[in-house]
Amino acid sequence: MNQSKSTLSTDSVVKHNEDVLFSEVADGMSLMDIESGKYFHFDETGARIWKQINGEMQISEICDKLQYEFDVEAETCQRDTLEFLQELADMDLVKTGG
């Protein structure tokens, strides 16, 4: 597995890796990394985070939207979202964008 190039924070801005194809499915989101040929599947929460990634918003802004949508505490939302996005960054599915 790739080593993380950087540690994300709530100030980080992430964008989709252009080599990753994705599609919504009934129970979330399916992705394929063209470069590695690997497939990934996210549940509805992961899919919602993926859809918020636009290369312009800081992770804290994504968390603000998710907090409202899922009625979750700020600290929990930030911790879980950062952990999820860090995993995506470690797998090279997202890149830091700003």
Return d(Cα 48, Cα 31) in angstroms, integer.
13
| 3 located within any domain | no
Residues near 32 by beta carbon (within 8 Å), at least 6 away in sequence: 20, 21, 22, 38, 39, 40
* pLDDT computed for residue 98 by the predictor: 55
| 8 located within any domain | no
Q: What is the pLDDT along the chain (98 residues), one digit of tens a residue?
A: 444 467 999 999 999 999 999 999 999 999 999 999 999 999 999 999 999 999 999 999 999 999 988 889 999 999 999 999 999 999 999 998 75
| CATH number of domain containing 35 | 1.10.10.1150
Q: What is the extent of the structural domain holding 72?
A: 14-92
| 6 located within any domain | no
Q: Which amino acid is at 94?
A: V
Q: Domains in the chain: how many in total? A: 1
**Residue 67 belongs to what H/E stretch?**
helix 59-70
Return d(Cα 85, Cα 96) in angstroms, integer.
10
Number of C-beta neighbours around residue 10 at 10 A = 13
- Report pTM: 0.88
| 63 located within any domain | yes
